[in-house]
Amino acid sequence: MQPTLSLSLPRAAIACALLCLSAAASAANVEVHVTGVTPGKGKINVAVCDQERFLKQCAYSASAPATAAETVVTVPNVPAGTWAVLAYQDANENNQLDRNFIGIPSENYGFSRDARGKFGPPSFGDAAMAVREEGAVATVKLH
């Protein structure tokens, strides 16, 4: 019984390695060009969300110092699919989008495809974009 176990263990390891490689190969970078940035004021936080986690705890995120009027933030390892990008300038670097006493954001923010809501945030569909296996580029204008 031991020889069978030894033979199947390498096969299982090879199968696992191939599965891990294929998963890594299908993940790509999303390069986000954030415009309307106030240079030298905090950092730019970017999140890439699927429909289920949109405006909640997004699965992929990255940040960069707000050093220029256009700041590029690269979000790594995003699987191919339909995603929405949101960004905000975290001026006080507390890692949250600050809001005033009635819940309106007090820090500049924006969404992919320049999506905007009328009385609240836009829908996922308005901000949705395709991320292909080779990656994607999105522009987010802060408002």
Give the structural domain span for 111: 28-141
Residue 50: inside a domain: yes
Residue 105: inside a domain: yes
3-state secondary structure 61-100: EEEEECCCCEEEEEEEEEECEEEEEEEEEECCCCCCCCEC
Residue 133: inside a domain: yes
Q: Report d(CA 80, CA 133) in Å as an integer.
A: 5
Residue 6: inside a domain: no
Residue 5: inside a domain: no
Residue 61: inside a domain: yes
What integer pLDDT is reported at residue 25 of this predicted model?
52
The count of domains in the chain is 1
Residue 22: inside a domain: no
Does the pTM exceed 0.95? no
Walk along the chain (143 residues) and give the pLDDT tens digit of each residue. 444 444 344 444 444 444 444 444 579 999 999 999 999 999 999 999 999 999 999 999 999 999 999 999 999 999 999 999 999 999 999 999 999 999 999 999 999 999 998 888 999 999 999 999 999 999 999 99
Residue 103: inside a domain: yes
